[in-house]
Amino acid sequence: MSTELPNVSLPHLDTPDLRKLEPRAISQHPPRVLLLYGSLRPTSYSRLFAEDGRMKPSGYYDRVVDVMEELYKFTLLVRDRSEYLNDRYSERKEKTPASIAALASAAMSHEHRTQNADTDGSEVE
């Protein structure tokens, strides 16, 4: 191979084999957060803020204000509807299993009446 490709260094060539395809051991460390390079360096975010801690006027500032306005408007729209928005079928089902069973038996009560409607014991089936 080295004669065909003289610029390839065999020690640096990673050749696949079956050992590399085996599943890795399950990691025991806590999950990590993916961060973009430079996103937490002081130089990357300090340029957006003034010395007093306020955000400098920029496109980012406008976006933050837009998002906050939308959140505020959404809060005003749903403020009195929290009971309705937090109402879940699964939670209602857990709270009242007896009433669900009663409703189900009431809905199927016509089945019981038709099975027990034959009171004449003289007929042979």
Under the banding of pLDDT at 50, 70 and 90, the label for residue 14 is: confident
> Quick one: pLDDT at residue 41?
63
Measure Cα distances from 24 to 14, 21, 28, 31, 64 in Å: 18, 9, 12, 16, 42
- What are the sequence ranges of the domains in the chain? 33-100
Report CA 101 to chain centroid distance, whole Å.
32
Q: Write out pLDDT tens, residues 47-76.
A: 888 889 898 999 889 998 999 999 899 888
Q: Is the pLDDT of residue 38 over 60?
A: no
Q: Is the pLDDT of residue 85 over 90?
A: no
> Quick one: pLDDT at residue 93?
76
Q: Residue 57 has which token pair? A: 């006027």
Closest listed residue to residue 83, CA positions, set 91, 93, 72, 71:
91
The pLDDT of 92-97, averaged and rounded, is 76
- From CA 78, how far away is CA 42, in angstroms rounded? 38
Under the banding of pLDDT at 50, 70 and 90, the label for residue 35 is: low
Q: Is the pLDDT of residue 113 over 80?
A: no
Give the global pTM. Answer: 0.36
